[in-house]
Structure 1
């Protein structure tokens, strides 16, 4: 059973999502939040697996709520999916940098929303390589992640650095394994170690880190011939 929390200041959006997941087998709604502060409080008490998080909400916006939830030192951290009207929005970039697992447009078809939630619970990134590059390249040159630059990147082994570069290029664990001629389980272990060393909470955040650290240069073509 996948537990979902809906956070949006528009009651019609919340009602639609609640109806969608209530009717879908294998899902449970843990609550509805009309602002970011409610989202944090409800998530703390109900421990959802996934939060569909609007960005522009009163009291506490979705970015600040995401950052607060994913920075918590205790308990299970939920997967956060940013639910937005705009597909190229610096607010979305900021949410990904804060640790969100990906984003969906509010115009996304119902079945795609369900599939997306299942994907992030399974540990997959919710952004296609094309959308990831377009979003991050638009803002990466304006940002530098101080917590990741320098000592933390230096903690990575050469192999882990290469794996991070491939994550940044949008490759899945299976594609990384094929590219580097290793088992998928080994690739998954490398990804887990990278996340731990860099203090990252989502695969999308690892993509942001790869760009912001300079490991990937924005606007260069990505070679997927080995994927």
Structure 2
């Protein structure tokens, strides 16, 4: 939370939710921690306009809103040239919601349940702003396992992801990353330094044109690199 914010860039956030009380409550929490709320939006269309106007670091995006839902708003925000480094965190009432999965596939950097504690809310926003992804393995992996195969079977088009540009080591890192391991756990498992692990992950994201770890996990399941229910030990046995 810093001492007084002196010398630090102010973190700027847009809050998009159709419930005024939610927007007000989150806004008070963020303001108390020195985070600037640049705009509030009651629907997805307002959110897109607010991001275009204020260029925030992070958007807290509700999914179910009138006029335009949070999925379409997220897609438009992240596809726009004006998005820059703007990141989107999805707000949801339920942790196993196919709308959340859809939002993650559009490029959202993670999601939070609406009953999140003030401390977790602030730390999540700061984490995402730093360029990391809000990946809670126990929830996000379960969500992706539940919906990835369903979505793939509905499309019947198979994988659209080309992993041929990855080295064997990078494929191994991606597989383990998709099982929910942290950088420290990856380093321990592969007997590598944390710095080397971060380098591998950075190269994976760059080669596959992904924004963050969440998209990497989604891709790993959708491409069939890892199957629902797989564990880190299974992954190592397969390599």
**TM-score normalized with structure 2 length:** 0.85
Q: Which residue of 1 aligns with 2:121?
A: 113
Q: Which residue of 2 aligns with 1:22?
A: 31
Q: Which residue of 2 aligns with 1:167?
A: 177
Kindly name which structure, 1 or 2, has the bigger radius of gyration based on alpha carbons.
Answer: 2
Q: Which residue of 2 aligns with 1:101?
A: 109
Structure 2 unaligned blocks of 5 or more: 1-9
The 2-side partners of 1:142 and 1:197 are apart by 26
Q: Structure 1 residue 3: deviation in Å? A: 1.0
The size of the alignment, in residue pairs, is 224
Per-residue CA deviations over 1:159-187 (Å, capped at 9, x if unaligned) read 11111112111122232223222232222
Q: Which residue of 2 aligns with 1:201?
A: 211
Q: Structure 1 residue 115: deviation in Å? A: 1.5
Bigger mean CA offset, 69-78 vs 146-155? 146-155
Q: Which residue of 1 aligns with 2:88?
A: 80
Cα 1:70–1:148 shift into 2, 3 Å: farther
Bigger mean CA offset, 93-102 vs 188-197? 188-197
Aligned 1:39-54 pairs, distance under 5 A: 39-54=47-62
**TM-score normalized with structure 1 length:** 0.89
Q: Which residue of 2 aligns with 1:70?
A: 78
The 2-side partners of 1:111 and 1:74 are apart by 30
Q: Are 1:35 and 2:43 counterparts?
A: yes
Structure 1 unaligned blocks of 5 or more: none
Cα 1:38–1:200 shift into 2, 3 Å: same
Say whether the 8 Å CA contact 1:148–1:198 is kept in structure 2: no
The 1-side partners of 2:197 and 2:164 are apart by 20
Q: Which residue of 2 aligns with 1:137?
A: 145
Q: Which residue of 1 aligns with 2:3?
A: none
Bigger mean CA offset, 68-77 vs 131-140? 68-77
